[in-house]
Structures are given as C-alpha cells and as structure tokens.
C-alpha cells in the first residue's frame, strides 16, 4: 500500500515538470490556434485595470517580481494561467490587454479581463471602476469589427475566428465581491444560493451566445475555484485559519455544477460550436489535499499580504514577499502564485484526471 501511495505521489509531482517539458517541446512549432481571446477577472487580468480608477490594480512591485516584464498588472508574482496556456498552445507571445493592444496585433487575440469584474454589473463596484463581463463582450465586438476590416469581409473573419480559442472565467467576484458581502450588496438577501447561481448562469449564457454570434466556436469555461479556501476567507471566517469555509465553497459548487450543465446545453443547441468546462475547483482541491505532491509547503496563507494568513488585504506597494515563492500555492489574499497557475493551466490544457476537463481538454479542443 505504501509503495502504491509513493508511486501516486511521484506521478503527481511530475505535473510541474511536464508543463515545462511541454513548453520546450513546442518551441518553433506552429501555433495550435491562430488567436486566443481571454475574458475574466483578476485571475487573468494583465493590465486592463492599470488605466482605470480602481483599487483593484497590480501594476506595482512586488506584483510581477518573477515576471520577465516586471509589474504589468498581473495579480501574481509571475505568469497567470492564461500565460501558461498560451505557451502550451505554441503561441509566440502572451496575449496583450485590450487597453493597450493596437493594429494587426489583435489578429493574435486580445485579453479583455478586468480585476473585480463579474457577471453582474454591480459586482465589485466598491473597488471602483472595472470592466464587467457584458462590457468585455462589447469590447470584443469592437475587435471583431476591426478584424472584418482587416480581412476584407465578414466571411473571411468568421472563418478565421472559428479557429481561435476563447477562454472565459467569470463568477468568482460575484461571490467574493457581491453575494458574500451582505454589508455592501443585497444579493444574498434577494436570492438563495441556488437562485443566485441560476441568475448568474442565465446572464452568463446570454453573453456566451453573443460571443457565438460574433464568431466564437471554441470556448473554454473555467469554473470557480475554492474561494472558501483562499487566505482572505480563511483569515476572516475560519476559526483555525486552515479549515475551508464550507458555506462559501458549497455556493461555488452549485454554480460550477450549473456551469457544467450549461456546457451540455450549449453543445446541443449550437452544434457547430464546442464548449468545454474546466474543473478549477477540483484541481484546487487536489492541490490542497495533496500539497507535497506538488512541492507546496503552504496552501493556507499568501506569500505576500497583511494580517492573519497574509489574507486581510493584497500586497502593499514595495512590500517584501516570501522568498520561497515556489512553495506557496497563493501569492496574495486571493490569487495563486505562478507555480499554482502553472498546475491549473497544465491540467486544463492536458487533463491529468477525467474530472479536470469536460467533455474534452483544451489540447483536444484546439485540434478540432
């Protein structure tokens, strides 16, 4: 039995190594998709909030301390999960933010993500300006109009966009910066967790159909991670600072289950498109349950932050973070380290277990 457990842990520990081997093997190879469009929140924002009047910004050190370009607006010490996915797809560079991208570069894809953004318009409003999911979709419509002009006609643009990959990860802030902030938002008094998930999914589905109408055919939907296990929630709502907050995780799972069902629904209704679901929650759970298998020593505290679990607030400007960043799952109160992002991206791209991606993983979706 001990030998079997040792073998299992050894196999799991090869995930991070596999990421980098995959990256090196893809050097010089043709990209698997011509472009990559990204919609989301602070987990994948790479600079769109830099130009907004917002408290949700990461354009200062120590953010980006391990990133080749320094602080860029990424809420991590280094790469985000979509940066690693871009590498795994064989793209020659990371996808640039909508705020600064210009000219022909939009043909490679655009990152529309905005920290504090949610599916609901009011989500995150206490943090200042942010670009909601509906606004991100509107920005993409502007991009598509430019691509039509560049390629000459709508048919050529539609053919081009049908080969591109679309990554969508929304919903975390609708819980973190809305539903579970009853002092600022009324949603938890208006809706039960099941009703709230239904409202979110209905709005989500509407925006996905808009993307479909503007040419999206390969869409990756990232589920919500274990918000109840983040350093912020552990600091505020966990008695021992290590036990995850079940009422929050339970609500997150209700949303995720409905999102997975939406994938089935959309695949039936829009037969010329392919939607897949990434089980971020399950991947996080696996890491937290088996941290040593992934070379992590700390999963309940941020590498950088303030207060209990380093989870009261995000990194302060010029704050000195922990030195052993590779051993931390979380970079700050909410966001993974580059090491954490690499595992999530690796398993989303090439599923390690059957539950990681449904019905197929990103690698297979890119091949279609």
The residues that are catalytic are 42, 332, 335
Phi and psi dihedrals of 168, rounded to 5? Answer: -130, 120
What 3-state DSSP class applies to 223? coil
Q: How many CA atoms lie within 13 A of 148 on its CB side?
A: 12
Under a CB-based contact definition with an 8 Å cutoff, are residues 321 and 338 in contact? no
**CA-based nearest residue to 249, from 282, 201, 202, 221:** 282
Q: 213 Cβ partners below 8 Å, 6+ apart? A: none
Cα 215 from Cα 11, distance rounded (Å): 39
Type and span of the H or E element at 167: strand 165-168
Four-CA torsion 208, 214, 218, 221, nearest 10 degrees: -20
Cα 52 from Cα 311, distance rounded (Å): 24
Q: Is 116 left (phi over 0), alpha (psi -120 to 50) or beta?
A: left
Q: Is 111 left (phi over 0), alpha (psi -120 to 50) or beta?
A: beta
């Amino acid at each position: 039995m001990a030998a079997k457990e040792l073998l299992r842990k050894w196999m799991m520990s090869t995930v991070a190594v596999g990421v980098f081997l995959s990256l090196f093997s893809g050097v010089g190879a043709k990209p698997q998709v011509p472009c990559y469009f990204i919609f989301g929140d602070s987990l994948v924002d790479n600079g769109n909030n830099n130009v907004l009047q917002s408290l949700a910004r990461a354009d200062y050190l120590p953010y980006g301390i391990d990133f080749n370009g320094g602080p860029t607006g990424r809420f991590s010490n280094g790469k985000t999960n979509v940066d690693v996915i871009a590498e795994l797809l064989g793209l020659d560079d990371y996808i640039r933010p909508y705020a600064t991208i210009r000219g022909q570069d939009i043909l490679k894809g655009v990152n529309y993500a905005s920290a504090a953004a949610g599916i609901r318009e009011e989500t995150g409003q206490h943090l200042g300006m942010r670009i909601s999911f509906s606004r991100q979709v509107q920005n993409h419509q502007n991009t598509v109009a430019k691509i039509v002009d560049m390629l000459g006609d709508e048919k050529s643009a539609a053919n081009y966009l049908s080969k591109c990959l679309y990554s969508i990860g929304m919903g975390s802030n609708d819980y973190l910066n809305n539903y579970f902030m009853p002092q600022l938002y009324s949603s938890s008094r208006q809706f039960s967790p099941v009703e709230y998930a239904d409202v979110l999914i209905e709005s989500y589905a509407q925006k996905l159909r808009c993307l479909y109408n503007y040419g999206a055919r390969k869409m990756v939907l990232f589920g919500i991670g274990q918000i109840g296990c983040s350093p912020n929630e552990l600091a505020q709502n966990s008695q021992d600072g290590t036990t995850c907050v079940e009422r929050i995780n339970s609500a997150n799972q209700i949303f995720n289950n409905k999102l997975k069902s939406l994938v089935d629904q959309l695949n039936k209704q829009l037969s010329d498109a392919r939607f897949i679901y990434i089980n971020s929650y399950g991947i996080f759970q696996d890491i937290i349950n088996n941290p040593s298998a992934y070379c992590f020593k700390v999963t309940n505290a941020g590498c950088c932050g303030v207060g209990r679990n380093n989870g009261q607030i995000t990194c302060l400007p010029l704050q000195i973070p922990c030195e052993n960043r590779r051993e931390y799952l979380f970079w700050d109160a909410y966001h993974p380290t580059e090491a954490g992002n690499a595992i999530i991206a690796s398993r989303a791209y090439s599923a390690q277990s059957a539950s990681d991606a449904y019905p197929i993983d990103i690698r297979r979706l890119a091949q279609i």
